């Protein structure tokens, strides 16, 4: 039985097979942000919005079909250019709502992520590989700082509007096809590779 322990999207490797080395970009979260951001949350660049230095602003992405994603939050940055924000030793790495900050985002379109399925309406079959599915939002943990987002099992299909492309089941001794299985996926609707602006 798989543990029901959602963590959002966790970067694992690149599509080429090269291991993920922790590469990120810094983005700005404005004080108007109304949603807390957790490690593993998908975020989307806010069209036409940036800080005074031109660092793009982001907010939480929308769950469901046709919702583009710029990348995945990996932490709170302590600087962007010459802007320095204090980071305390006992500060949790999630960002409360209404707090302006800079965050680290894994935004490479070639990243492969591990994601837990929600298994609502039934678990994904082994044949889910190479299909598309969307994400479903979930509340993050203020204790672990991990995202509560998951792969929406009921959205499995071939429609181009699926946010994620399922590559294969995550091969691990503690993961099996069935409820709460973990899958390796790529962002199918990546905002950076879109040919139109946001």
Collect all residues with Cβ–Cβ distance below 8 Å to 23 and sequence separation of at least 6: 106, 108
Nearest alpha-carbon partner for 4 in 179, 193, 188: 179
According to the model, what pLDDT value does residue 82 have? 44
According to the model, what pLDDT value does residue 90 have? 58
According to the model, what pLDDT value does residue 196 have? 61
The sign of the dihedral angle between the CA atoms of 107, 111, 115, 119 is positive
Region for residue 139 given its phi and psi (left: phi exceeds 0; alpha: psi -120 to 50; beta: otherwise)? beta
CA 164 to chain centre: 10
Q: Is the pLDDT of residue 83 over 50?
A: no
- Distance from C-alpha of 149 to C-alpha of 6, rounded to nearest angstrom: 7
- How would residue 91 be classed by pLDDT, with cut points 50, 70 and 90? low
Q: Sheet harboring 10-14: ordered strands across?
A: 10-14, 111-116, 182-187, 164-169, 132-133
Average pLDDT, the chain: 89
Bridge partners of residue 146, in order along the sequence: 39
Kindly state the percentage of the chain with pLDDT values over 90. 76
According to the model, what pLDDT value does residue 79 have? 56
- Distance from C-alpha of 75 to C-alpha of 140, rounded to nearest angstrom: 14
For range 10-25, the mean pLDDT? 94
Nearest alpha-carbon partner for 58 in 68, 47, 66, 67: 47
pLDDT tens digits, one per residue of 188-198: 989 988 756 55
| DSSP H stretches of helix in the chain | none
- Distance from C-alpha of 189 to C-alpha of 185, rounded to nearest angstrom: 12
According to the model, what pLDDT value does residue 92 have? 65
Q: Which carries the bigger pLDDT value, residue 70 or residue 84?
A: 70
Helices and strands of the chain, counted as H and E runs: 0, 14
- Distance from C-alpha of 127 to C-alpha of 141, rounded to nearest angstrom: 31
Residues in the chain: 198
Bridge partners of residue 186, in order along the sequence: 165
């Amino acid at each position: 039985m798989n543990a029901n322990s959602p963590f959002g999207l966790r970067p694992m490797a690149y599509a080429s097979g090269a291991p993920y080395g922790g590469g990120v970009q810094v983005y700005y979260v404005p004080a108007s942000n109304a949603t807390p951001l957790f490690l593993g949350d998908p975020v989307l660049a806010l069209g036409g919005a940036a800080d005074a230095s031109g660092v793009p602003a982001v907010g939480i992405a929308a769950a469901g079909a046709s919702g583009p994603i710029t990348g995945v939050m990996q932490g709170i940055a302590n600087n962007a250019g010459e802007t320095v924000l204090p980071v305390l030793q006992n500060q949790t790495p999630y960002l409360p709502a209404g707090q302006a900050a800079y965050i680290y985002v894994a935004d490479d379109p070639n990243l492969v992520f591990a994601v837990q399925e929600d298994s609502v309406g039934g678990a994904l079959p082994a044949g889910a590989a190479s299909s598309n599915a969307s994400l479903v939002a979930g509340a993050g943990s203020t204790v672990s700082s991990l995202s509560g987002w998951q792969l929406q099992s009921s959205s499995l299909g071939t429609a181009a509007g699926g946010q994620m492309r399922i590559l294969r089941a995550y091969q691990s001794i503690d993961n099996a096809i069935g409820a709460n299985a973990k899958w390796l996926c790529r962002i199918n609707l990546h905002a950076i590779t879109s040919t139109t602006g946001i």
